[in-house]
Amino acid sequence: MKHAILILTMIAFPFVRAAEGDALTQLSLGEIEIQALENSYSKKALNAEYDSVKNKIDSQNSLRYPKITLEGNYKYISEVPTLNFPGGAKTAFGDNTNYSIGPVMNWTLWDFGSIKNSIKGSESLLKSKEAEKSFSNRQILLNARLAYFRVQLRIEQQKMVTDSLKLAESQHRDIQNRLSAGLSNRIDLLSAHKEVLNLKIQSRQIQSDLSTDLRDLYALIGKNDSFDPKLQVKVDPLESSLYSLSKYGTTGLEQENLNQHPLIKMYTANAEASRLSAESFKANKLPKLALFAKSSIDYPNGPILENIHQNAIGLTLSMPLFESSKSSNEALEKQNLAIASENRREEARTNLVRDWQKANDQLQGLKEKVLIFKTSVDESAERAKLVYSSYRVGRSSFLEVQSANLHALEAKVQSTTNNVQILIQLAYLASIAEEQ
């Protein structure tokens, strides 16, 4: 009796492991979303890029403050100037060996905003990276949800095929008994067995497809190495997933929400960063004023061959007179990049509005078909029962029974597929509208 119950359980729910002690693996949508975000390599890469831009800003900020370095030089000269005095006396102005060593402080006092604009440009680039991270999170969630919905669809298909297989096997046994009693024929028996075989083939193919979809899902959540092809899983009901995303099917895409989309913010920040960088390069063509101070040990002290401690302070003014338009072209390069980012922003805006409208149009059509499919499922199931009852009393052929069974299964598959398509469109809407 115990084994009979176990066999029936495996038929009714083929995803529970048959071996005693094996636990059922539960995959919930919420947990999948969390794990996908935690284990995404693209997210980790963007976090590293974000930190690198912060390091760049800190590096550029250091240019605002004095820079102290240790400078030293050494040289050997072959000829030392000498002064001849009357009477044949000579005095050398220095020595063949010369050196100087000591700390030097340099501080840029004025550069017409070159450093300032460079820092602001990097800060805008940091905002761009932050928006890119947010957009990446939305894409990670979208991919995880779509993979999860494919798994849900496969499991629902497997349940429906399993139910149809149970019915086909029951009818096959019934026809065997009827054949023994002389109430049926060999053709009907073979046709019934053919239907059983076809459903077994479908079931095996769905299992293969489910394994493929599970591999995709496990790779997205960072557990590809632990995937077992014989893994038995249980997922959330479709109604649960529909409820978690249903709010995105009732809201519109306001202009304010569109302006806050990560793609729009990213391209806006990129354009601003490029324009500020262009201003920084333009300033390189203007004079720069810097303060310097030095304290050093020098040798020799002119004609006196001894070390001296020398302090110096002063200002330097520098301005490029000829650089083959280097700064001008660098500024033009950044201005063109700003224009490119602005055009990409407007393209993204157009695409987002289009994608929202397309997904919403699809969603409305899918929702309207829900009741139609429900009616089709109920009536197809009822018709299949009536046709088989008619066959048993000799009023219908077994071919009509097979056709009715097939239509009943197709109606269930179409209804479930329609529900999963609703989930997919809601996931697309969420990827455009939700906040990350």
To the question of pTM greater than 0.85 for the whole model, the response is: no
Asked if the structure places residue 123 within a domain, the reply is: yes
26 within domain boundaries: no
Say if residues 259 and 333 touch (Cβ distance below 8 Å): no
Cα separation of the two ends of the chain: 54
Tens-place pLDDT, residues 233-265: 888 888 888 888 888 877 777 777 788 899 999
Name the pLDDT band for 421 (thresholds 50, 70, 90): very high
Helix axis angle, 29-38 to 114-180, nearest 10°:
140
Q: Lowest mean pLDDT of 140-144, 162-166, 248-252, 357-361, name the range.
A: 248-252
Q: What mean pLDDT is predicted for residues 171-179?
A: 90
Range of the domain at 132: 119-206+234-285+344-436
Question: Is residue 54 in a domain?
Answer: no
* Spatial contact of 147 and 35, defined as CB atoms under 8 Å apart: no
Structure tokens at 400: 């009509």
Residue 410 maps to which CATH number? 1.20.1600.10
Structurally, how many domains does the chain consist of? 1
Which one, of 353, 358, 359, 354, lies nearest residue 424 by Cα?
359
159 domain-assigned: yes
Q: Is residue 278 part of a domain?
A: yes
One-letter identity of residue 251: T
What is d(CA 311, CA 295) in angstroms, rounded to the nearest whole number? 4
Q: What does the chain come to in residues?
A: 436
Instruction: Determine, yes or no, domain membership for 375.
Output: yes
Taking alpha carbons only, the member of 426, 425, 429 closest to residue 352 is 429
Q: Give the Cβ contact number of residue 5 at 10 Å.
A: 9
25 within domain boundaries: no
* pLDDT single digits (tens) 299-324: 988 778 888 999 999 999 998 888 88
Domain annotation covers residue 213: no
Distance of CA 163 to the CA centre of its chain: 38
Q: Is the peptide bond before 300 cis (omega within 30 degrees of 0)?
A: yes
